[in-house]
A and B are shown apart, each in its own frame.
Chain A
Amino acid sequence: EIVLTQSPGTLSLSPGERATFSCRASQSIISSYLAWYQQKPGQAPRLLIYGASNRATGIPDRFSGSGSGTDFTLTISRLEPEDFAVYYCQQYGSSQFTFGPGTKVDIK
């Protein structure tokens, strides 16, 4: 099973600031089968990024993903008030899909 580690656990930032999230895998993820999701309280997760760097339909371009192998990054260029949430990475390149523990972004 591929284990995903996310850092930091919590990010305290202000609207307008840049947010950077890290996701590290215990082994290489094939074909960059890495996704990022956003989850707000009481809501289902929402797909942001697939294939490590492709924005999902309807996702604003302030969200970007990068990385390959074992190290991946999600960046929000300028935080909007609606971006304060929990962000999860997920790998779907092995038979046991796994999620990272999440990074919470809260208002500073």
Chain B
Amino acid sequence: EVQLVESGGGLVQPGGSLRLSCATSGFTFSKYSMNWVRQAPGKGLEWVSYISSSSNIIEYADSVKGRFAISRDTAQDSLFLQMNSLRVDDTALYYCAKIRNAKWLVDAFDLWGQGTMVTVTS
């Protein structure tokens, strides 16, 4: 089955760190660029970060630049998001998302996980 399963979310204090994971299955992970997208409670979607299939191109939203780091491990077929210096406004459901076409660097997101919740509170 083609799927993405996020994990690693939880409750953390401001200034703390978390590492999110996204386990993939059912497709050739190494061929696809991947993304993290978040959604604060009751709010819209916010793109967070992008990594190309070979990890040579990485992009971040301005809101997380310098604090978050995206990475991937082909041996584990997994995507990661290291989140440092967390703030209250980082509280959200974090989704990993796969791009549609492996031949392209960028494309729409055709596969999403169910998300992992990150709550930053004192």
Contact = CB atoms under 8 A, between A and B. Distances in A.
Given A44-B112, A44-B114, A92-B108, A99 B50 contact: no
Contacts, number: 62
Report, nearest first, the 3 A-B pairs whose CB atoms are least far apart: A35-B108, A50-B108, A44-B112
Contacts of B59: 95-97
A56 B100 contact: yes
B113 interface: yes
A99 B44 contact: yes
Interface string B49-88: 0100000000101100000000000000000000000000
A8 interface: no
A44 B37 CA distance: 11
- Interface of A, helix, strand, loop or mixed by DSSP: loop
Interface of B: 35, 37, 44-47, 50, 59, 61-62, 95, 100, 106-110, 112-115
A93 to B, nearest CB: 8
Given A44-B95, A56-B100, A98 B47 contact: yes
B97 to A, nearest CB: 8
